[in-house]
Amino acid sequence: MRTAAPLPLAVHPLTREAFAPYGEVVEVSDAVRHFTINAGNTERYHDLANIEPGPDGRVIVSIFRGQPRSLPFTVQMMERHPLASQAFVPMSGKPYLVVVAPAGAPPAAEDLKVFLARADQGVNYATGVWHHPLLALEGVCDFLVIDRSGPGHNCDEVQLDRHGVIEAL
């Protein structure tokens, strides 16, 4: 059977509103609740992400050191964590790519949404949201990762029938 050519995927700027169907954006913003603490020294941007450890789960904090991806990048697979959320907060001062699809049935290439995240934006994938594994850019990058430790299977992977391709930023 002839395999369809990969579907070109547009790259969108990451905003809280656009990412809302997939989870939260962790960033400084006047649109989020914030207040001054520490005798005026510090501004607290409060409660930015819904961290869900899931049944019998424990929230853990890890660091992922990702090798940079090169463009064009072909999206061949997606994964989800059916039990818990997963957050990535960049630590290396570089942008990165986020590829997501709504929770539920395994996605087709047409369901994929690509965001370019700035170096000062983290993301929290809500439980079950399909996403591509870490897509670092420009160099080796560290990310603080907040996700789950606990019993049960918490990572489903699917191969896409039709691939997507991110040609350029």
Determine the interface stretch with Ni ion among 27-35, 45-53, 79-87, 90-98 (rule: CB under 5 A).
79-87
Interface positions with ligand UGC (CB under 6 A) = 79, 86, 131, 133-134, 155
Which of Ni ion, ligand UGC, none sits in contact with 134, Cβ below 5 to 8 A by type?
ligand UGC
- Read off the tokens for 59: 């929230």
The answer to whether 164 and 9 have CB atoms below 8 angstroms apart is: yes
**90/99 Cα distance (integer angstroms):** 16
Closest distance to Ni ion from the beta carbon of 43 (Å): 30
Comparing CB distances to Ni ion, the nearer of 109 and 125 is 125
Instruction: Quote the tokens at residue 31.
Output: 């649109």
Residue nearer to Ni ion on the CB measure, 86 or 127: 86
Element (H, E) at 16: helix 16-19
